[in-house]
Amino acid sequence: MSNFKDERSKKEERYIRYGKDIVDNFDVEDDLTFWKLKSETTKNGYLIEMIHPEVSALCPVSNFADSGKITIRYVPNKKTVELKSLKLYINSYRNIGISHEDLANDVFNNLEKGLKPKYLQVVLEMAPRGNVTTIITVDTKKRKY
């Protein structure tokens, strides 16, 4: 099985496809990478926003592909997420049968676990299916509901 940290530096032709082997075998525990920030940086209380415009997964009922956009916003505490590992993590859902709600909550839970941010929001906006657009927002502030 491929290891993201080892494979991302290889120059071989089979790795030019943006980590296909890694995406197919992505292990969130080993491959989603977080970096420690300087403590003086996180004192500023800034918001990081990342938009991944091409998230896809399989409908768990029909097995048809669903696609959409995911936006992640967080105020860092001590860590940030490494962007390439985040991209590969999001791309790893492409062959998984998962509901929109579970996908948004999976991403939220895994990022919250790794980042331990001061604030986190994940917004998943799926493309229309049957003329209906689904938007799921998971937010640390919504836990009061």
- Which residues are catalytic, by number? 59, 66
Instruction: Kindly provide the residue ranges of all beta strands, DSSP E only, lying in the chain, ordered along the sequence.
Output: 34-36, 48-58, 65-75, 79-81, 119-126, 135-139
**Amino acid present at 40:** E
Torsions phi, psi of 59, nearest 5? -65, 130
Q: Are 115 and 77 in contact (CB under 8 A)?
A: yes
Instruction: Find, among 29, 2, 28, the residue nearest to 15 by Cα.
Output: 2
Burial class (CB within 10 angstroms; exposed 0-12, middle 13-18, buried 19+) of 64: exposed
- Do 135 and 127 meet the contact criterion of CB atoms below 8 Å apart? no
CA distances from 88 to 47, 68, 142 (A): 22, 16, 27
